[in-house]
Amino acid sequence: MTSSTVAASRPSSLFEVIAQPSVDRTIALVAMLPLLYLGYYRYQHLGLGIPLVSLVTGTLIAFVTMILRRSPKRITPNPFYWLLTFVATYWSLLTLGVVQKGRPLVPHQVSDAVAICSLVIIVWARLSLGRNIGFVPAQREIVTTGAYRYMRHPIYTGLFLGFLGVALRAYSPRNVLILGLGILWFLIKSIVEENFLRADPQYAAYLQRVGARWIPFVV
């Protein structure tokens, strides 16, 4: 066996290990633990009321679907995609030390309404996606129904509204910068995921059929 053959076989062998259901779900469980801690930390130090309840509920739903998820058919080997996923997923955790309590910009009823809308969209999107959830760009079963009939990344839409609810409840220039960067990572991740999945003809057709990434009929 030549050295090039050995090098080519390594990603395939690694994928076969990662794709085993027990390994894949163990990875999912470990990946979710920091996010569960994030919810606990926010409760202890920041409060945030209903915006916090919205974020934590979305995290718990993700936790359940992640540990029950389908094994991937293929996973991106691109290290940049993995790094982007890590930063986007754990950005809120990575910035905990610099987040401020801030001050409310609007009455609590307004920020609560935004948070509730965020939760509704996230729950709808999570239930639509079912067991096909993952953090790193990977192909499982392609979903084109439910929330995905109207926008290609409805979970991110819900997250963006959640970030907005937090910004309205705990405003400071520093918090807005941190939350804005958190949104930016997911905007980039949306495009990265599409570039990876468009190799599948079914997903390529889905991209043509559903034009909106985050807001139906808008963008």
Question: For 83-114, how does the pLDDT look when each residue is reduced to its tens digit (9 = 90+)?
Answer: 999 999 999 889 988 888 889 999 999 999 99
Which sign, positive or negative, has the C-alpha torsion 86, 87, 92, 94? positive
HEC assignment per residue over 29-53: HHHHHHHHHHHHHHHHHCCCHHHHH
pLDDT (0 to 100) of residue 167: 92
Average pLDDT over residues 148-171: 93
Residue-wise pLDDT tens digits, 39-69: 787 777 766 677 777 777 888 888 888 888 8
Burial (CB < 10 A; 0-12, 13-18, 19+), residue 141, is exposed
Please state, in angstroms and rounded to a whole number, the distance separating the CA atoms of residues 153 and 219. Answer: 11
Q: Mean pLDDT lowest for which of 4-18, 74-88, 143-157, 163-177?
A: 4-18
Measured CA to CA, the distance from residue 122 to residue 63 in angstroms comes to 13
The DSSP code for 71 is P
Class of domain 3-209: mainly alpha
Indicate if the pLDDT at residue 147 is higher than 60. Answer: yes
Q: Name the residue ranges covered by the structural domains of the chain.
A: 3-209
Is residue 4 very low, low, confident or very high in pLDDT (cuts 50, 70, 90)?
Answer: very low
Number of Cα atoms under 13 Å in the Cβ half of residue 66:
19
Pick from 2-6, 71-75, 145-149, 168-172: least confident: 2-6
- What tens digit of pLDDT does each residue of 17-44 get? 777 878 888 888 888 888 888 878 777 7
